[in-house]
Structure 1
């Protein structure tokens, strides 16, 4: 009858939930793509905008609530902000106390937003596509803590009911549909005074973008004047320093499926796709980014290996067996 599949994020303890049989989801289930795209903070968030005390106090109703803070040296204010690096909501509230604090926290706010987006993304996490017949995992994929959380056997090679345990214990990932706006935060919803104070800034520049967070935080490929893409996608294994690139955006999910699958039983695989159950990157830290971003991070990246040809060959073989005449890598 074949096996059913899910994609799990070991680090965040999340799962896509049931994807169905591989032959059913291989060409049509693409949700994992949006989870794995590396978040990008637009340049408008770069810490270069200042705000006058007069303008800030106008929004605050003229009451200087930051008298004590203003007596402290900027170095100490920066240190206070740094303590809130992983608490984006609290950091924004602190930043709004006075113009000095707003300017001092510029870089910390930017880093805090980057951290917030990364925590919501799967990019750079250990990811696997597993079937309900999966018994043997690549060596070292699960730590002792991972096994304990899933209540797996302590035996080194064989996992007991991994599929069922992951479905039961892992959560659904946060999706783009879940609003990032601080106005939707439970603390704001339950505190009318806090909501009133935050609303004074929510629709005023330069504060609004930091509160409403309405920008598109995922990479987008722009077309040149000739209509051709100016950039291209890259799927990366950060552990192996390998990548696949120069393929159509509509094949992002299929490229991933070719690399992250893990099972002991080939039954139910797509035609010609037995290799999918032994994905070379199963359990690796994986992300999807733009080639331009990769170049910014690693330069010419001579120590990275391009495995595009291998994946192109595999996908073309699968497409031929599946009689998908319109397939183009």
Structure 2
């Protein structure tokens, strides 16, 4: 039947799910692993996401009014709002601290100008927390575990003593069997987070009935920009061992095989990135079954369970304690790819 594999994050108890046999996905590898460890740009400050108050400003919307969103200076606020805003600031802050959903915080904040100013930091905090922690595996312990892995074959450095008891307590189950939480590995989308934690459609109806949709787009029309293209080449860093692989070295290897095509007509290394590089070093199993032509010890990855990120090369080269292992790592990757695409590397003889 063959061995099945899945990439797991030990620190977050997460996985991208089972991807099947190693030889079936390694050569058409999804980019979610590489994306998950790539350093993200600095998150904008509060004013860039949640608009600051402009005294006396009113929202103008063509269709539906937004009750209580802005109180004109000539209008008298309701007694309930007056009683609330007259409370000490620490008491109002205590109320906000018990609101865990972005929609709830917004509903309270748009009732008047005073609460909007008080609520802005709480709105920002929720957005920043969700946006910056949604899918990042930067600095976490990662490995690709095979379902033939026996607990006795897990290296000592992979699990803490507490994890070894929790994850491998049952002698009949393996690390592959542990119920890791499945994540999709998609990029952060602000429009998906408004009802995070809600399992009830009535909140979606309430959102529009109260006219808060206009408030959301007026004050919070913010979409995180795509990560800027790095000025310097990037490096894949192994934070546990203080080693790195240079993107420039990977590009040189890809250029070497630029003219070699697979049976599908594409370059055999055309789509290879740091995700594939990492996968050749983090697999862990007791059995070498990988459904690949390569017969090397890929199932005992030297980096299994280590911590990683992808950053600008300038952040690495300035520190002399880091060591460049590009040649060693890419030599292994080249051997794996040459084994898989050996038919494409054979030049047919020409007979006269």
Give the alignment's TM-score, normalised by structure 2: 0.67
SS at match of 2:320: coil
Residue equivalent to 1:227: none
Residue equivalent to 2:56: 54
SS at match of 1:315: helix
Deviation digits for residues 143-182 of structure 1, max 9, x if unmatched?
35534554x237xxxx65325513xx22320442785424
**Alpha-carbon distance between aligned partners in 2 of 1:302 and 1:101, rounded to the nearest angstrom:** 51
RMSD: 4.0
Q: Is the 8 A contact 2:131 2:188 kept in 1?
A: no
**Alpha-carbon distance between aligned partners in 1 of 2:237 and 2:92, rounded to the nearest angstrom:** 35
Unpaired stretches in structure 1, ≥5 consecutive residues: 223-229
Closer/same/farther in 2, CA of residues 174 and 51 from structure 1, 3 Å limit: farther
Equivalent runs, 1:27-66 vs 2, <5 Å: 27-30=27-30, 31-40=32-41, 43=44, 45=45, 47=47, 50-55=52-57, 60-63=68-71
Residue equivalent to 1:241: 242
Deviation digits for residues 27-64 of structure 1, max 9, x if unmatched?
11224333434444554x55355331323677544445
Q: Is the 8 A contact 1:188 1:194 kept in 2?
A: no
Deviation digits for residues 265-298 of structure 1, max 9, x if unmatched?
22336444624222232112333x3417x73xx7
**Alpha-carbon distance between aligned partners in 2 of 1:277 and 1:178, rounded to the nearest angstrom:** 32
Residue equivalent to 1:126: 141
Unpaired stretches in structure 2, ≥5 consecutive residues: 61-65, 72-76, 252-270, 346-352
**Alpha-carbon distance between aligned partners in 1 of 2:111 and 2:227, rounded to the nearest angstrom:** 33
Task: Report the number of matched residues.
Answer: 300
**Alpha-carbon distance between aligned partners in 1 of 2:58 and 2:165, rounded to the nearest angstrom:** 51
Residue equivalent to 2:154: 137
Residue equivalent to 1:115: 129
Give the drift of 1:257: 0.6
**Alpha-carbon distance between aligned partners in 2 of 1:95 and 1:41, rounded to the nearest angstrom:** 26
Residue equivalent to 1:257: 279
**Alpha-carbon distance between aligned partners in 1 of 2:184 and 2:335, rounded to the nearest angstrom:** 35
Equivalent runs, 1:182-197 vs 2, <5 Å: 182-185=193-196, 186=198, 189-191=201-203, 192-197=205-210
Closer/same/farther in 2, CA of residues 260 and 37 from structure 1, 3 Å limit: same
Rg larger in 1 or in 2? Answer: 2
2:221 paired with 1:221: no
2:221 paired with 1:208: yes
Closer/same/farther in 2, CA of residues 305 and 203 from structure 1, 3 Å limit: same
**Alpha-carbon distance between aligned partners in 1 of 2:244 and 2:232, rounded to the nearest angstrom:** 15
Residue equivalent to 1:291: 312
Give the alignment's TM-score, normalised by structure 1: 0.71
SS at match of 1:317: helix
**Farther-moved stretch of structure 1 (7-16 vs 108-117):** 108-117
SS at match of 1:128: strand
